[in-house]
Amino acid sequence: MIDLKGQTALVTGASRGLGYAIALRLAQQGATVHLVARNAEAIQEAAKKIAAETGSTTHAHAADIGDSAAVNALFDAVLKLTPSLEILVNNAGITKDGLLMRMKDEDFDEVIRINLRSVFLCSRSAVKTMIRQKYGRIINLTSIVGVHGQAGQANYAASKAGIIGFTKSCAKEVASRNITCNAIAPGFIESDMTQALNEAQKTGILASIPMGRMGGAGEIADLTAYLASRESAYLTGQVLSIDGGMGI
């Protein structure tokens, strides 16, 4: 069993979905978890729920992680509450889909800002602490869309592909300091968004997955917990696809 007792994690986009599942799993493994999202009420509720369920210490932070000043203030607040930070999970992301010829400048820019710029800002702040500690785990959530592309998601695909390049570069920079940096590329995961699909859409998606099913958020959380652990010490700079075989 993965043991994260005595370690501190920060998870962005943690109020719901994959981010919440990841924060919950890290707390279940014993980590103190800082949950971050833009909606103050939602993130406070998520932190309280995880603390009640796991008995672990949680902290809620409302922040716009695409903004440099906000990220600096966030990490100042985190390190005042907990003196160390061993684990960073860059999960926050948004979509503003549309065909390339009709996509607005602001829709492209905002997706890049939240999905990719935030990874840079949070990782830069975290690495400063991790280097002093001579230990750290950075896990970035990318997507199969960042690997294979997707019509109608040029902005999202660009942001997720950027995360892959960032992950590999970051891994090379910090490997000698006992810090790893890896990316997870989920396929179709059961969520509120996939539940809203009609039956024809679901049938088409399932036909493209060799395993014949969508993944669960808990499966992504399990992989994240492994990458956050000491057991993954020799694994860095990798993009781990967890997609039921879609990328084969």
Q: Which domains does the chain have, with CATH numbers?
A: 8-241 (3.40.50.720)
> What confidence tier does 193 reach under pLDDT thresholds 50, 70, 90?
low
pLDDT at residue 96 tops 90: yes
pTM for this structure? 0.96
pLDDT at 82 over 70: yes
Q: What confidence score (pLDDT) does residue 207 get?
A: 92
d(CA 38, CA 118): 12
Question: Does 156 participate in catalysis according to the annotation?
Answer: yes
Out of 20, 135, 156, 234, pick the active-site residue.
156
- Using 50, 70 and 90 to split pLDDT, how confident is the model at 201? confident
Closest to 57 (Cα-Cα) out of 122, 20, 130, 7: 7
Three-state secondary structure call for residue 67 = coil
Report the mean per-residue pLDDT for the chain.
Answer: 96
> Would the pLDDT of 144 be above 70?
yes
Structure tokens at 126: 């975290």
Rounded to an integer, the average pLDDT of 187-209 is: 85
Q: How far apart are CA 147 and CA 118, in angstroms?
A: 20
